[in-house]
Amino acid sequence: MRHSLNRVCLWLCAFVLWSMMGHALNESLHICSESHEDRRLYIGDKPRSAYAQLPVIYFVTPTYPRREQIPELTRLAYTLLHVPRLHWLVANDREGCDTFLDAQINGFGIPYTHMASPMPSEFRKAKPAPRGVANRRAALQWLHQHNLTNGVLYFGDDDNTYDLRLFSEIRHTQRVSMFPVGLIAEYAISGPVVREGKVVAFLDSWVAGRRWPVDMAGFAVSLSYMAQYPNVNMPYKPGYEEDLFLRSIGLHIDQIEPRGNNCTEILVWHTQTKNKKSAVVRLENRYMDERSNLGALFRLLEQMGVARASESEGLVATISKNGKSKSHAYFLS
C-alpha cells in the first residue's frame, strides 16, 4: 500500500511540474524596432573588427514603463557599449510600442531588438505578480524563431550593476555557467557553493524547495546547449522562474561551470531602484513656451514618464534666485 501511495505521489508531483512547465513556447511577438548593425567603430581600445570571432551574447532585458525606466536603461546602455559582439533584446511590458524608447535604444548603435511584451491580463492583479516573465518568454521565442544555436543567453535586468569582466566570463559558456549575485535578500548574496572547482550546493536565504535557488542574474546559458531542449520554458510562477527555466533545459549540477574565480568574486549586483509615481508639477501653460527651457524640458520628462507639468495638479513649482523664491511671472513673463 505504501509503495502504491509513493507511486501516486510521484505521479502527482510529475504532473504538477509538467503542468507548470507546459509545452514549448508559442508567444506572439510584436517587434517595435530592430537593428543587427553594430555602429560602434571602436570598442575599448580596439576596432570592432578585432572581435569578429567572438560568440555573441544575447542580453535580455525585461523592462516596464515607470519614471525610472529611461535613466536606468541609459545607465545600462553605457555599460553595454563597452561589450563587443552583443545583441540587446529589450522587452517592454506594454501593449503597444514606445517610439521614444525606440529612438533611445537605436541611438546607442548597439545591435538590438525592441519588442512589446505585455503581461497577460489574468496575471496583473495577482499578488505577487509574475513580473518580467512575459518579457523573457518573448525573448526566448525570438531566439527560437531565429533558430539561433550559437552564442550565449543572459538575463540582465535594467536596474542591476554589471562588472565588465562578467561578459568575458560568460562568453564561452559550454552549457550553463553560474556566479554569485550581490545584494540578494537577507544574506545580501546568492550563488553556488564550490569545492575543488565543482558546484556542490547553493547559498541563498530562500530555498523554498527550489532545485536551483539562484537569481536570474546569476547564470548564463549556451544556445547550442539550450537548443537540445525544445520545451524550454519559463512559467508564470513568481519566485520559481529561474528554477523552472533551468529544469526545462535538463540541467544537472555536475554540468554547471563556476565563474568569477570559482565563485569567489561578485561580478553582478542586484541594485534595485525604489520606484515612485511619476511627478506632477504645477506650472501655468502660458509659461511653457520658448521664453524659457521649461516647456521643452517638461515635454521631454513626460515622454520619459518621469514627470509632467499641470495647471491644476501637483505641487506648485518653486523658482528661486539668491535663496529667495519668486512668482513664476517674475522670471518668465
Q: In this predicted model, what pLDDT tens digit does every residue of 246-256 receive, in sequence order? A: 999 999 999 99
Asked whether the beta carbons of 155 and 63 are under 8 A apart, the reply is no
Q: Which of 68, 241, 242, 257 is catalytic?
A: 242
Per-residue DSSP letters for 199-256? Answer: EEEEE-S--TT-SS---GGGEEEEHHHHTT-TT----S-TT-HHHHHHHHTT--GGGE
The pLDDT of residue 136: 97
159 marked among binding-site residues: yes
- Could you report the per-residue pLDDT of 58-95, keeping only the tens digit for each? 999 999 999 999 999 999 999 999 999 999 999 999 99
- Global pTM exceeds 0.85: yes
Per-residue DSSP letters for 80-131? Answer: HTT-SSEEEEEEE-SSS--HHHHHHHHHT---EEEEE-PPPGGGTTSSS--T
**pLDDT at residue 179 above 90?**
yes
Longest dimension (CA), the chain: 89
Give the start-to-end residue ranges of the domains of the chain: 2-269, 279-332
Find, among 182, 184, 154, the residue nearest to 265 by Cα.
Answer: 182
Q: Any idea which of 5-14, 41-50, 82-91, 163-172 has the lowest mean pLDDT? A: 5-14
Q: What is the CATH number of domain 2-269?
A: 3.90.550.10
Find, among 5, 9, 26, the residue nearest to 17 by Cα.
Answer: 9
**Average pLDDT over the chain, rounded to an integer:** 90
The pLDDT of residue 7: 44
What are the cell numbers at 34? 530592430
Active site residue 186: no
Per-residue DSSP letters for 132-192? Answer: THHHHHHHHHHHHHTT--SSEEEE--TT-EE-THHHHHHTT-SSEEE--EES-TTTTEEEE
Residue 223 pLDDT grade (very low, low, confident, very high; cuts 50, 70, 90):
very high
The neighbour count for residue 216, using CB atoms within 10 Å, is 20
Residue 168 pLDDT grade (very low, low, confident, very high; cuts 50, 70, 90):
very high
Q: Which H or E run contains 77?
A: helix 69-80
- Could you report the per-residue pLDDT of 226-269, keeping only the tens digit for each? 999 999 999 999 999 999 999 999 999 999 999 999 998 999 99
